[in-house]
Amino acid sequence: MLILYHHRTRATDAQRIHILEMMRAFEALGHEVEEAALVPAETELDNPERDAGEAAWQRFVRRLPLASEAVQIAYNFGGLPMLVRRIRRRRPDFLYERHALFNFAGVLAGKFFGIPVVLEVNSPLALEQARDRAIHWHGLARWAERRVANAATHVIAVSSPLRDILVGMGVRREKITVIPNGVDPQRFHPLPADPELKERLGLKGRAVAGFVGWFRDWHRIDLLIEALASSRLLREKAAVLLVGGGPETPRLKEQAARLGVESLVRFTGPLPHREVARHVALFDIAVQPAANEYCCPMKVIEYLAAGKPVAAPDQPNLRDLIEDGSEGLLFTPGSAASLAGALERLVEDEELRHRMGQAAAAAIERRGFLWKRNAQRVIELVAKTANRAR
């Protein structure tokens, strides 16, 4: 098949990874992929500062009522002609589109040319942007999101709670297929810890609880530091390794110093992507301190693939990924005491950590958390549509 992959993103951070991995997965299955985007996904790879930053136009329009809505709607006047040119030049078998708010270009082009449109929804953007006060006309945004999703041939939701939110907005349930994010097992797999790196970071002789990412307030890394400080057992036997950087770093360092655990919290600073796996290999426990109620955290799947037991909040979207007691331990969301209890159990029981790590790595294949499997499921959905049409 020839697949036209359309997205309206700045190709940053997890967005870029998801786009690139799906395109590579389609190609690995023998299909051809063309990217239709203002910013190609290969743009400025391995630039964490750009990934975490906000575009200048976004900072500006947030200050003006309805400006964000207007700018996002205006994209269609360029995006639709771009898609029309691409489709007329080489008619694709289907259009695969990453959902963006007020983006009608993909479904309009698909309807006009009679091409199936697969809409990948990673978050309920009307709800998300209203929460972030990025938009003011929430009713219009919900209407646009519902109309675009119902006009698509298929809708891919990355979690079951997200599917339920979309259904609650009026998107037809029969259109929606839940396909969680994936991982490339060639890039993420169990690796032995580097003893020299562990000693250099001052982690020798301690169980390491780790987190990878760009540090933002909603990641609630402060919960992890609070859990460490609140437990005598953790202070005696564990340490925290924070791989990455970001605007929360100064506040987190201040918190660690104030709670008297600064010697037990290590900050690597931003690292090249090729160095991340070496540092994750030092983790004895991978921690997802917080997550919104509908996301599918890519890093959790990567932790599992790396053979790490995961401590994560007990909520439906994370139960989609982690079997509590088998591949990790789930704790009460927002509770440092509950997180500390989960960490204590894992720090005290090395055999439990080992068993859960093995189960985590095995779960990737068993439960299908693979980009290639995701691409195959999309192809099967499109093929069923074509058979029904015939």
Q: What are phi and psi of 240, to 5 degrees?
A: -115, 130
- Answer whether 7's CB lies under 8 Å from 97's CB: yes
Looking at residue 47, its pLDDT comes to: 57
pLDDT of residue 294: 96
At residue 99, the pLDDT reads 97
Per the CB < 8 A criterion, the answer to whether 276 and 243 are in contact is: yes
Beta strands in the chain (DSSP E): 2-6, 32-36, 94-98, 117-121, 154-157, 176-178, 207-214, 238-245, 265-267, 285-287, 310-313, 328-331
Instruction: Count the Cβ atoms, other than its own, within 10 Å of residue 46.
Output: 11
Q: Please tell me the predicted confidence (pLDDT) of residue 40.
A: 85
Architecture of domain 195-366: 3-Layer(aba) Sandwich (3.40)
pLDDT of res. 67: 82
- Residue 367 is classified by DSSP as T
pLDDT at 274: 78
Predicted model pTM = 0.91
| Numbered ranges of CATH 3.40.50.2000 in the chain | 2-182+370-389, 195-366
User: Which of these, 11, 17, 12, lies nearest to 36 by C-alpha position?
Assistant: 11
Q: Write the burial class of residue 192 (CB in 10 Å: 0-12 exposed, 13-18 middle, 19+ buried).
A: exposed
Task: Give residue 362's pLDDT.
Answer: 97
pLDDT by residue, tens only, the chain of 390 residues: 999 999 998 776 688 889 999 999 999 999 999 999 988 887 655 555 555 555 565 666 666 667 888 989 999 999 999 999 999 999 999 999 999 999 999 999 999 999 999 999 999 999 999 888 888 889 999 999 999 999 999 999 999 999 999 999 999 999 999 999 999 999 899 999 999 999 999 999 999 999 999 899 999 999 999 999 999 999 999 999 999 998 899 999 999 999 999 999 999 998 887 788 899 999 999 999 999 999 999 999 999 999 999 999 999 999 999 999 999 999 999 999 999 999 999 999 999 999 999 999 999 999 999 999 999 999 999 998 876 655
Fold of domain 2-182+370-389? Rossmann fold (3.40.50)
Looking at residue 262, its pLDDT comes to 96
